[in-house]
Amino acid sequence: MNILVIGAGGMVGRKLTASLLENCVLAGREIGRITLVDVAAPDAPDGKGIVIDTRAADIADASVAPRLIETRPDVIFHLAAIVSGEAELDFDKGYAINLDGTRHLFEAIRQAGKAERYCPRVVFTSSIAVFGAPFPEKIGDEFFSTPRTSYGTQKAIGELLLSDYSRCGFFDGVGIRLPTICIRPGAPNKAASGFFSSILREPLSGREAVLPVDDSVRHWHASPRAAVRFLRQAAEIDTASLGARRNLNMPGLSATVGEQIEALRRIASNKAVSLIRREPDPMIIEMVDGWAKDFDAARAISLGFEAETSFDDIIRIHIEDELGGALPK
Amino acid sequence: MNILVIGAGGMVGRKLTASLLENCVLAGREIGRITLVDVAAPDAPDGKGIVIDTRAADIADASVAPRLIETRPDVIFHLAAIVSGEAELDFDKGYAINLDGTRHLFEAIRQAGKAERYCPRVVFTSSIAVFGAPFPEKIGDEFFSTPRTSYGTQKAIGELLLSDYSRCGFFDGVGIRLPTICIRPGAPNKAASGFFSSILREPLSGREAVLPVDDSVRHWHASPRAAVRFLRQAAEIDTASLGARRNLNMPGLSATVGEQIEALRRIASNKAVSLIRREPDPMIIEMVDGWAKDFDAARAISLGFEAETSFDDIIRIHIEDELGGALPK
């Protein structure tokens, strides 16, 4: 099993890589090679017998994708993207990476398949940002994509291309619309959704955090652990069960910022909660107002995908995976 | 009022041009100039005082769009497309014209708006091919786009781009999902939907026609007259009423092939009906099976869009507009 991870340097990419190296098997086949790609070369982990190839590459450059698939990976995880906040501020860059980069990859696979039999599984991380308000109370599996950000537009276009290339037999694609990943570890990135994590992560480590929206804001979450599980399942699922509709809303947990804060109070302390500083940001308030709040992810659940059911669990996962199992004294 | 029609050589483009020249006003403003563009230069009609500029141009070429908008048209009708059957047979050509061509146009407008105030109305003809089976009994305004053809994929992507460029204020776009246009006059084109017209048009003129699908096939239709009316209304509508959702299902008439044939029998004769030869075509049967059958186009209807309500009317419109008002003796 030869695996390519594009966007391997990001948080989800690193956790996916760690998971692949931990059990060395995907879709019932032993992993022999993993190529890790990002705009800056990812750190090479200890491969424990698995060949690890790390590369710096910009997928917006059309000449890159054909080289990335030279070893004909069996599974390609395409996680690379300019995040929502940055794609909104830099229109050209967002389209260059999120749309053109995705299209270059898909097209390279199609061209490779002309000369030889080649039809890899492609797992594409889409986003709930493909949906735009106004919403029904719960977004169902057949709700339309009317994104209200350029990022959401680019992801929705990636989904359409994924479906068409899969329908034509150029590859075997699965798109997964990840909930907002919470608690995102490490330093904040430019995603406008970053505060959903930082209001928990920073206080859990004794640091201040800024909350730019109201406590009543409801949103859709899943842990980094769930995200990695979704990616692995998307690589392993029998796509015959998907038919022509290859993009799936992943399950998640719908919660308000207030509910997040109450979970923080239960798992940590009032003192942790007091580290959250309210500082409304009109640009973020407006963006978040157009985001999805709750889903009925019946289709993915029937296919075996599962997320957390309480924010207490989401916080506990962060403490186990990022803080060594206990809150700092 | 300066108008650009891209795809002006096609059937809808020619009828739209005739309509614009007939009353010389659009959106309450007198028309001063019309530029007609297609891959082969359209015939220049008598402008009756309106400046008519006809050009041959291939919108797949990125250098073309900036030149097409040099006179800064106030309204741009973007009708140019490779039709469904051809886009399915020639993957590269379909994407080059239907996706890249559309993107080049949108991008040229955005670039023009950097140097000066420029925000034209863009009317984009999308298609019900953005929807793919399985469907609800009637497709509502919030049903998702899961096209089952490359053509439908390209149109769905055009819609997403139209919405994002409009949201960002680069232009003021309206996308209209036309029903299948029936009765399409003139020679058959490569659209897989062509038979819906030819089984009426050819017998009405005493010629044989081939029916490649079963009589029970249900589909969604509107006359060429209705299509032109939709385009004009899309150029005139107050887009504030659309909000962020700029792509609209147009109203139409849901009918089976059998119902079309019975209308032909009523308006023409049993002899006309006997000219329909049944010759099932597996490729067309499979494509048509994935197409929409009926809609609840509530949103467009509430905005004032209207289609025919019987196939008898659709046939009568063809007789009036194409056959000089009477069936050939």
Summarised one tens digit per residue, pLDDT across range B138-166 is 999 999 999 999 999 999 999 999 999 99
Q: Read off the tokens for A69.
A: 């698939």
Contact A160 B161 (CB under 8 A): no
**Structural domain contains residue A170:** yes
**Structural domain contains residue B39:** yes
**Structural domain contains residue A126:** yes
Give the nearest partner residue to B153 out of A143, A164, A245, using CB atoms. Answer: A164
What's the complex ipTM? Answer: 0.94
Beta strands in chain A (DSSP E): 2-6, 25-26, 29-30, 33-38, 51-56, 75-78, 121-127, 172-178, 180-181, 209-211, 218-222, 247-249, 253-256, 276-278
Contact B168 A91 (CB under 8 A): yes
**Structural domain contains residue A264:** no
B contact test, residue of A163, A170, A289 with most B CBs within 10 A: A163
Determine the distance in angstroms separating the CA of B217 from the nearest CA of chain A, rounded to an integer.
21
Contact B145 A150 (CB under 8 A): no
pLDDT band (50, 70, 90) for residue B39: very high
Q: In chain B, whose CA is at the least distance from the CA of A107?
A: B92
Domain that holds residue B67: 2-178+224-249
A114: chain B residues, CB-CB within 8 Å = none
Give the nearest partner residue to B157 out of A144, A146, A157, using CB atoms. Answer: A157
How many domains is chain B partitioned into structurally? 1
Which residues from B are below 8 Å from A when comparing CB atoms?
91, 132, 142-148, 150, 153, 156-157, 160-161, 163-164, 167-168, 244-245, 290
Give the nearest partner residue to A244 out of B148, B160, B167, using CB atoms. Answer: B148
Q: Encode pLDDT of B271-287 as tens digits.
A: 999 999 999 999 899 88
**Structural domain contains residue B264:** no
Which residues from A are below 8 Å from B when comparing CB atoms?
91, 132, 142-148, 150, 153, 156-157, 160-161, 163-164, 167-168, 244-245, 290
Contact B146 A91 (CB under 8 A): no
Contact B143 A142 (CB under 8 A): yes
B contact test, residue of A89, A92, A131, A164 with most B CBs within 10 A: A164
Catalytic (active-site) positions of B: 151
Q: Encode pLDDT of A56-97 as tens digits.
A: 999 999 999 999 999 999 999 999 999 888 999 999 999 999
Give the nearest partner residue to A160 out of B91, B156, B244, using CB atoms. Answer: B156
pLDDT of residue A287: 82
**Structural domain contains residue B211:** no
Q: What is the CATH number of the domain that holds B15?
A: 3.40.50.720
**Structural domain contains residue B18:** yes
Q: Encode pLDDT of A51-65 as tens digits.
A: 999 999 999 999 999
**Structural domain contains residue B78:** yes
What does the mean pLDDT of chain B come to? 95
In three-state secondary structure terms, A2 is strand
CB atoms within 10 A of CB B141: 16
A161: chain B residues, CB-CB within 8 Å = 153, 157
pLDDT of residue A240: 94
pLDDT of residue A84: 84
